[in-house]
Amino acid sequence: MKLYKIEAGNFQVDGGAIFGVVPKRVWQKRYPCNEDNFCRLAMRCLLIDTGDRKILIDSGTGDKQLDYLKYYDFNGVVNFDEELKKYGLKCSDITDVILTHLHFDHCGGCTKYNADRSKVELTFPNATHWVGEAQWKNFLNPNVREGDSYFPENMLLVHEAGKLKLVTDNQLVCSDVEVRIFNGHTVGQLVTYIHDGAKTYVYVGDVIPVSATVPVSWISAYDTYPITAMAEKKVLLDEAVEKNQILFFEHDAYTECCTVKDMYGKFRVENNFPL
């Protein structure tokens, strides 16, 4: 198995949105912001090459809605055709796309404009797209908190093409890759566990958006169900400590991976390192 990070771009969000009720004088010691209180976030995807399967986790925001989303100051949005060439692959080689959830910064790259920008087409035409069933239903009929985060053009074509696989319970994608359902940030979020020999990598998505939010009570204002988000995070962290799993961060612009430890009932980053 080979693992490759793909930096699909970055954007800025308000620090108060990332860290919720945690005071700025506390969180700014752990994560930088600019003079306008905005923090830079990554869109770090993960490519898993098992030999016969080429699995991509999340696809960034793509470039279809960048004018509408200019508030977020997106930069470095990748072209997957060009990015995959670095690994000797084409978009048509991707067999599976696992989507943590369907907010625009996680699934926007699943579709793209054609050459003359007259219509939308699949970025990964041969891939099965894995989505939590509860998340898909929420995408089709969103609550008032999440309505502005979903764009039909990002995913409806995937469904129409018969390339959507809905996940209702924890299950294997292949022998060494499994997806588990974690609620809280949104319903039906998928967390991917990659078992690579003695190591297990956990693609935590928005369960833990940046390493500074490892403490259970440090949750984002974007989390739709805060109490559930904290409970689900604790479940993830308990296992990560017990089994010495490696957390892989999608949004942390400064830390790619870390291990965690339990210090008298409080979770802390133990070591951080690149993939």
- Around Cβ 34, how many Cβ atoms within 10 Å? 10
DSSP 81: H
State yes or no: pLDDT of 27 exceeds 90. Answer: yes
Give percent above pLDDT 90 in the chain: 98
Burial class (CB in 10 A: 0-12, 13-18, 19+), 139: buried
- Identity of the amino acid at 3: L
Half-sphere exposure (Cβ direction) of 224: Cα atoms closer than 13 Å: 20
pLDDT tens digits for range 36-93? 999 999 999 999 999 999 999 999 999 999 999 999 999 999 999 999 999 999 999 9
- Around Cβ 190, how many Cβ atoms within 10 Å? 24
For Cα atoms 5, 6, 11, give the angle at the middle one, nearest 5 degrees: 120
Domain tally, the chain: 1
DSSP 231: H
User: 50 near 39, Cβ under 8 Å?
Assistant: no
CATH number of the domain to which 20 belongs: 3.60.15.10
Domain that residue 29 falls in: 2-273
Mean pLDDT, the chain, rounded, equals: 97
Does the model's pTM come out above 0.95? yes
**How is 117-168 classified by DSSP, letter by letter?**
SSSEEESSTT-EEEEEHHHHHHHHS--TTTGGG--HHHHHHHHHTT-EEEE-
pLDDT tens digits for range 128-170? 999 999 999 999 999 999 999 999 999 999 999 999 999 999 9
DSSP 187: T
